Amino acid sequence: MGFNRENRTAAAAVITMAIFNGAFLSLNGLFMLIAPLAWYELVPGVTDTGFFNQHFVRDIGMIQLFLGAAFAIGLAVPERRIGLWAAATVWLSAHALFHFWEVAVGICSPSVIPRDFPAVTMPALFGVVLTLWAIRQSRTEKLAAVSDRPRLQQPEAGA
């Protein structure tokens, strides 16, 4: 995974955030697919967004399941990490920004921001941190690989 003794704290944080996003998003997606009405009724604030639509809840459930899988696979397959985490993070960030937009234009009251934070904003923030970390890690590994390559000796002048 590219972790060493000096960055155990970073490793623990990265693993924790990736596991959280992978597990939370996957389990939420499964809940939405298996019991859409129960999900609609149990998740705080969802009933305030409009009438129950089983098809819509299951559509979003599939997205949530794929996003969770992207974080889990990215944790396990480093060479695919940036693409998987970045793609998932784009959707999560757009979703979080949409929630803030609804408050900004008066569709929802500001009280929804802390209510939605754990399930909407936090996964997006985790995704941003994870994606930026993966990009930095990839660059660091590439630079290390370049510096480890033996240099070709240049012919001496006049030889």
Walking along the chain (159 residues) 10 residues at a time, the average pLDDT comes out as 68 96 98 98 94 98 98 96 98 98 96 96 98 94 78 63
Helices (H), 6-150: 8-34, 36-42, 54-76, 81-104, 112-116, 122-148
Kindly report the pTM of this predicted structure: 0.86
The per-residue pLDDT for 5 is 59
Within 10 A of 133 (CB to CB), how many other CB atoms are there? 19
Please state, in angstroms and rounded to a whole number, the distance separating the CA atoms of residues 103 and 148: 52
